[in-house]
Amino acid sequence: MLAGGVGGARFVRGVRAACAERWPARTDDATAPGSSSAGAATSADVTVIVNTGDDLWLAGVRLMPDFDSLLYALAGVNDAERGWGRAGETERVAAELREWGVGWPWFTLGDLDLGTHLARTAWLREGATPSQVAERLQRRWPLGVRLLPATDTEVDTHVRIDPSLPDAAGRDELHFQEWWTRYRAAIPALGFEQRNLAEARPAPGVVAAITGADVVLVAPSNPVVSIGTIVSVPGIREALAATGAPVVGVSPIIGGRVVRGMADACLTAIGVETDAAAVARHYGVRSAGGLLDGWLVDGTDAASVASLEEIGLVAASVPLWMRDLDTSAALAGAAIDLAARTR
């Protein structure tokens, strides 16, 4: 699976549940990944390739927001209401950091969450790579799936803006997290740029996961800064082109609106309409050099299925709203079924 954080987490939980239902863990295999997390035991081998473009250094620690959102959600320790961070979080350290003028006053580092950032940063300073750190963080909770950062290179996304705008204060770019959390994506983006992309390589295991997969799923995550960043790491798009597995995506747009977040601002910036079929066309059809073999849209967008099939996609409309684990699992099951139809 390719996934971003908040939007990706619900879908990944659904995939885990759908796999547990279809391919339950063998009862004699007590060591199966996820065997001790409720309802998640599956013999399926699920790898999630996680967007790292939202990552940043702040207050001396390395943050990997999408990785952490997936980690916390799959472990069941996430703040489901807010959508990011830990449940039962306190903010005592954040209040101190504001007093010291360290970090960003509009960006909250919760106390429990800071524990994760400190552990990660300590291991990075000891010489571990981000993917090795990711592996260590996952040992704490039995997730039932493997989370892999797309790359070990720091490819933090920056947003190009017009320096003459009042909020820009003369700057012609902002870190994605400042644009997203401070300005709620309201400053028109002129473009998105990932740092160090030319020298970036897929993290160990990423290419093998894609080329060795039976099915590749593209989560309903932000097509520009989440999925877009993953596939812009040199080698990942090529692995997707080469894999024998069908590649099936789920639209993050329902009835012309984003399901959550502000992906519409990102799509507008790159000239793509906020529309389920337009996102599919943006990803492109694999047989013509694009990413996808199949695409799921919501019932609201059922009218676009015929035109998507005309351009060579296997498409279907199903309920896309992930209200709870059951609806997420049903959606994941529909994506797996669509993959079978592409063969």
| Tokens, residue 214 | 């039976």
- Sequence-separated contacts (24+) of 27-36 with Cβ below 8 Å: 33/142, 33/143, 33/144, 33/145, 33/146, 34/142, 34/143, 34/144, 34/145, 35/142, 36/142
Interface with ligand FO1, residue 223, by CB under 6 A:
no
Of these, 68, 178, 275, 301, which contacts ligand FO1 (CB under 6 A)? 68
| Tokens, residue 45 | 């081998």
Interface with ligand FO1, residue 181, by CB under 6 A:
yes
Of these, 1, 6, 259, 265, which contacts ligand FO1 (CB under 6 A)? 6
Closer CB to ligand FO1, residue 106 or residue 321?
Answer: 106
User: Judged by CB under 6 A, which stretch of 24-32, 65-73, 203-211, 320-328 contacts ligand FO1?
Assistant: 65-73
Q: In a 3-state reduction of DSSP, which class is residue 265? A: helix
**Neighbour order of strands in the sheet with 157-160:** 173-175, 157-160, 191-194
Of these, 19, 40, 49, 54, which contacts ligand FO1 (CB under 6 A)? 54
Interface with ligand FO1, residue 178, by CB under 6 A:
no
Interface with ligand FO1, residue 185, by CB under 6 A:
no
Interface with ligand FO1, residue 46, by CB under 6 A:
no
Phi, psi of 3, deg, nearest 5: -155, 150
CB of 58 to ligand FO1, least distance (A): 8
Residue nearest to ligand FO1 (CB): 65
Interface with ligand FO1, residue 113, by CB under 6 A:
yes
Of these, 3, 5, 215, 259, which contacts ligand FO1 (CB under 6 A)? 5
Integer Cα distance of 200 and 255 in angstroms: 36
CB of 107 to ligand FO1, least distance (A): 4
CB of 63 to ligand FO1, least distance (A): 6
Rounded to 5°, the CA angle 106-108-114 comes to: 150
Rounded to 5°, the CA angle 151-155-292 comes to: 60
Of these, 35, 77, 107, 142, which contacts ligand FO1 (CB under 6 A)? 107
Residues 6+ apart with CB under 8 A from 335: 15, 217, 248, 250, 294, 296
Residues that bind ligand FO1 (CB under 6 A): 4-6, 54, 63, 65-66, 68, 84-85, 107-109, 113, 177, 180-181
